[in-house]
Structure 1
Amino acid sequence: MNFSLIGVAGYIAPRHLKAIKDTGNSLLAAVDKFDNVGVIDSFFPNADFFVEFERFDRHVEKLKNRGVCIDYTSICTPNYLHDAHIRFGLRVGSDAICEKPLVLNPWNIDALQSIEKETGHRVWNILQLRVHPSIIELKKKVENSPKEKVYDIDLTYLTSRGHWYYTSWKGDLDKSGGIATNIGVHFFDMLGWLFGDIQKNIIHIHEHDRAAGYLEFGRARVRWFLSINEDLLPKEVRDKGQRTYRSVKIEGEEIEFSGGFTDLHTASYSEIIKGNGFGLDQARKAIEIVHTIRHSKTQGLVGDYHPFARKPLAVHPFTKT
């Protein structure tokens, strides 16, 4: 299969490059407005590279006119550009493989479904937790448990970010979708995949450096907390010099899935190429959840909230003197 890649200078792009290579395929062309892309040499040194999207577009069209088909367009760009770049991939005659979040708004999915019908090509979303061995085993356990069983879950994810975060697109709510969308969407997708349709979505806190709330699925009650603030890390984590803390407790029991992340993109690509990937319908639930979080009024610390939500709020870096 032949691939093109949009956003090859991005943080996540090397996982896509590796997945393309490990599945025995070829990267023909890549584009990014930043030219610090020496990583390409480790995977596809003969791929053509462009810093201007217009020239990349022209190149792909010239390949098409010579009978060289781009089978897949991989998209590793900022969240707010996903929709436009997916449309590009479909319209040049390829399927699109896009990082999460697929899009920022549920109605974007509706429009992409129309373009799928027009072009006959598919949109695939990287939802790597669905192919994680530990999560697959957990899904089997849930499916084999009594149907009336409703699980109590605490989800905690802290991934420290420095002041650069607020200058980048990730710190812009309109571009990233905010904390819950940017770092939480794959967890919300996992929960919906495991426990069914959403029943309640209550937001306790939604600040520049953290978000917390309560989700109720058909078979789970979830207290969740997400943050990029290093000061909120548990002491034992900070004492080890670590900057990330990930915890999912089900009925008080920790689910271990911190390992095995490095090859999940390759596993995702393998399934997509077989036609078994996760398409627009599978992506919809998590997009609806984060869209609601982004646009709902916060309730404050009332009801059943995550214990980490009690931690004092921090001053936004740009307000410090």
Structure 2
Amino acid sequence: MTDLRGRLTDGAYAAGWSAVKRLPEPVAVRLGQTIADLAWKRRGERVRRLESNYARVVPDATPERLAELSRAGMRSYLRYWMESFRLPAWSPERVRTGFDPEGLHNLTDGLASGRGVILALPHLGNWDLAGAWVTTKLETRFTTVAERLKPETLYDRFVAYREGLGMEVLPHSGGSAFGTLARRLRDGGLVCLVADRDLSASGVEVKFFGDAARMPAGPALLAQQTGALLLPVTLWYDDSPTMRGRVHPPIEVPETGTKAEKTSVMTQVLADAFATGIADHPEDWHMLQRLWLADLDPAKDPEKNTGSGQAVAADPEKGTP
């Protein structure tokens, strides 16, 4: 049954990349909204979890407001998928006009300094589009990490998709991935990591919208070991076809404290930057899983030992190149 489910999942993604990218953009937009509305009306587990997460982000929201947010959130989530399926067919000009970030100098100045740059993002907007924009508009290749999905053919499909957008994709394999990322940064390169969810034992506990959650240690550890700049990035949609975003100022490495203390401080600052962007645009935060520690039931939750699959949390002393 597991193998059959895996083949069906892989087939669905294959069909999406094959068929959706051929649709005219207005048709793809309407299709995404239709699918989102149908999923929202069914109120399955993922939709209910999304709404529960929004209740923490907007604690004074009425049930009606939360319903509005979850519907908008599902539409935003399907916009992400429709864009992602279509990205391989977008022209370079369409990619260049598809994203408009504020604070871009924080990234370009960092790259010009030769120190290396780590971009850390939450599950906001379309991080694949932002990555394609970096490789197309800025003509800068970067390195990221992908979780090994099941079936293996699905993982290979995602790797091929992102490599086709100009990214170097490493498998999420602990210290080995960390060492490669560190080498790229020491060479003055760019690393991009989705970093708002890590439920593994190595996750750093942070206060997030007033309650405890865990986020990956990897971005802060990489910055400490390599001297690279750590820049939070937040993304959002408005009513236009262009996605918006902000490259936040660098997170400084504390001058005092142990490695663990510095990592904790930096990860909390990162979480606060994420929270700012999510609070401003909650409907564009695609967190359809459990995140806060209070929401986890270790006896029942199959996600209890899984991480985001994006931000490596390995200790540099266990994975140095």
TM-score of the superposed pair, with normalisation by structure 2:
0.31
Which protein has the bigger strand share? 1
Which protein has the bigger helix share? 2
TM-score of the superposed pair, with normalisation by structure 1:
0.31
